[in-house]
Amino acid sequence: MSALIRCAVPLITSLFVALPAPLPAQDHPGEGRPGIWGQTRDIATDWWSESRDFAEQAMQDAQGLFREKEDFGQVWDSVVPTLEDTLTLEERQAELPEKAWFGDDQRSNNAEIQALLDEAVDILTVSPALKYRDRIQALQQEIVAARADIATYRQKRVSAPAESTIKKTVDDYDDLIAGREDDIRRIGKQIARLKRQFGQELRAMGIDVSDEQLEFLLSTVVGDNMVDLGILFDNVKTITLQLEELVEQSGEDLESARRYYGLYVVLLKSLDRMHVQIEAAISERYLPQIDDIIDQAQSLAGDTQALLREAPEKADLLNANLEAQQLTIQAAGVYRQYLKDQAKQVAKARKELEKDIAAAWNTYETVRVSGELVGLVRSSQQLLEGLMNRQIPSLRPFENLEMQREIQQLTQRLRSGEPR
């Protein structure tokens, strides 16, 4: 199983469902042949033996990451109460009236469920890998500041004296410019090293990204979301494997096995919730901001063209401005299309995930009513096979590397929430 996790396609993450443990060998006393419970036990034992070996290996792999990088116990203690509260609300959803003047109804109950799922997502989108991303972004801001300083020094250098004991001279500004250029080169080397480490961390979690895709993750706002989604997948996998261990320990305790399976279904719903969050962020925040940037740049380009007609003697300056404005428009258009493409990918993945959730919840409800263990195990086995190939929406690296800096500048504006 560890090989399957490490050799998955780009941004593929394996999830392992909770599988009940094999039951004791003896049938019910006084029975001459195995009854329905005995038959269920035999089938469950067969399925369990088929999956247990690779599930145990995957459990060791996943928990090993937590032991080295994060306190698994803290994450477990934080998220399980939230999952249990969510499951309790999910169980009563169908029994509530659609609308009620007083008391809870389906709408208010669902709002509580979504709030708890948001809480679960916040808990599970935590990883030591994020420290690399945060540091890279901070260093990129330092480069932006250094370039701004260089521009200021060059402007002041124009009117600086050749010699002076009071004011900064041309040579002084040359030294300042050289110093900031050295800073940019030094910071660039730091960023390159951190990018390699960040890529290694992501690949260790089963998120197989190329160097080009890593640049995409670090250059766009949706890249932040995709990294968070990958971390959520990885943490859900680890929590699910722990639930599988608890199911194994529960033996014939069907109620406990069913409860753990219910928590697994809620974990899947937390994945679905984050897909919804990403779609909403793209459609309600990022795309409107990009549209504002395009509108502003187009308006400014129109003003520049008008000035060119009115003041042809300033053509060199105005043409340079117009070229920069057109690059912004072009880059923003490319950015907009990437955001739309990623939104489609996320929506497609969400729809497939919701099919699995519906099937898993149907099985959970069936087992709750019938007490039949075999259905639980059959569903677990089928979901195991399907979710081993569950993909996080694929990434499309930028093709035009010349626009990389412009894209990064747009990303900084989107992250700050400022159109200007």
267 and 146 inside one domain: no
Minimum mean pLDDT among 127-131, 165-169, 238-242: which range?
238-242
In a domain, 40, yes or no: no
92 and 192 inside one domain: no
In a domain, 18, yes or no: yes
In a domain, 38, yes or no: no
Decide if pLDDT at 148 tops 50.
Answer: yes
Decide if pLDDT at 30 tops 50.
Answer: no
Decide if pLDDT at 179 tops 50.
Answer: yes
CA distance 336 to 291: 8
Residue ending a domain, among 204, 221, 248, is 204
Q: Average pLDDT for residues 317-326, to the nearest whole number?
A: 90
Highest mean pLDDT among 24-38, 75-89, 203-217: 75-89
155 and 197 inside one domain: yes
Minimum mean pLDDT among 54-58, 266-270, 279-283, 353-357: which range?
54-58
The whole domain housing 142 covers 129-204
242 and 275 inside one domain: yes
**pLDDT at position 35, please?**
42
Distances (CA, A) of 111 to 36, 94, 335, 342: 41, 14, 33, 27
In a domain, 143, yes or no: yes
Greater pLDDT, 368 or 418:
368
Nearest partner of 268 among 294, 286, 243, judged by Cα: 243
In a domain, 366, yes or no: yes
**pLDDT at position 261, please?**
81
In a domain, 122, yes or no: yes
239 and 358 inside one domain: yes
Q: Average pLDDT for residues 375-394, to the nearest whole number?
A: 52
221 and 345 inside one domain: yes
pLDDT tens profile 153-163: 999 999 999 99
195 and 209 inside one domain: no
DSSP helix/strand/coil, 12 = strand
210-223 exposure pattern, b = at least 16 Cβ within 10 A, e = fewer? eeebbbbbbbbbbb
In a domain, 100, yes or no: yes
Q: Average pLDDT for residues 96-109, to the nearest whole number?
A: 84
Other beta carbons less than 10 A from residue 27's beta carbon: 17
**pLDDT at position 220, please?**
83
Decide if pLDDT at 26 tops 70.
Answer: no
**pLDDT at position 28, please?**
41
237 and 368 inside one domain: yes
pLDDT tens profile 352-380: 889 888 888 887 887 766 665 555 555 55
Decide if pLDDT at 22 tops 80.
Answer: no
Number of domains in the chain: 2
Decide if pLDDT at 45 tops 90.
Answer: no
Q: Average pLDDT for residues 135-159, to the nearest whole number?
A: 93
186 and 209 inside one domain: no
Other beta carbons less than 10 A from residue 186's beta carbon: 13
199 and 230 inside one domain: no
Residue ending a domain, among 148, 180, 204, is 204
138 and 261 inside one domain: no
Q: Average pLDDT for residues 314-338, to the nearest whole number?
A: 89
153 and 284 inside one domain: no
Q: How confident is the model at residue 149 (pLDDT cuts 50, 70, 90)?
A: very high
Nearest partner of 208 among 61, 69, 392, 400, judged by Cα: 392
Decide if pLDDT at 15 tops 50.
Answer: no
pLDDT tens profile 292-316: 999 999 999 999 999 999 998 988 9
Instruction: Find out whether 223 and 278 touch, Cβ atoms under 8 Å.
Output: no
Q: Average pLDDT for residues 14-25, to the nearest whole number?
A: 30
Greater pLDDT, 31 or 416:
416
In a domain, 234, yes or no: yes
Please name the amino acid found at residue 275: H
Q: How confident is the model at residue 406 (pLDDT cuts 50, 70, 90)?
A: confident
What phi-psi label fits residue 407: left (phi over 0), alpha (psi between -120 and 50 degrees) or beta? alpha
Distance of CA 168 to the CA centre of its chain: 49
Residue ending a domain, among 204, 222, 238, is 204
CA distance 116 to 79: 10
Greater pLDDT, 354 or 16:
354
DSSP helix/strand/coil, 227 = helix
- The structure's pTM equals 0.69
Q: Give the pair of three-digit tokens for residue 144.
A: 């932006």
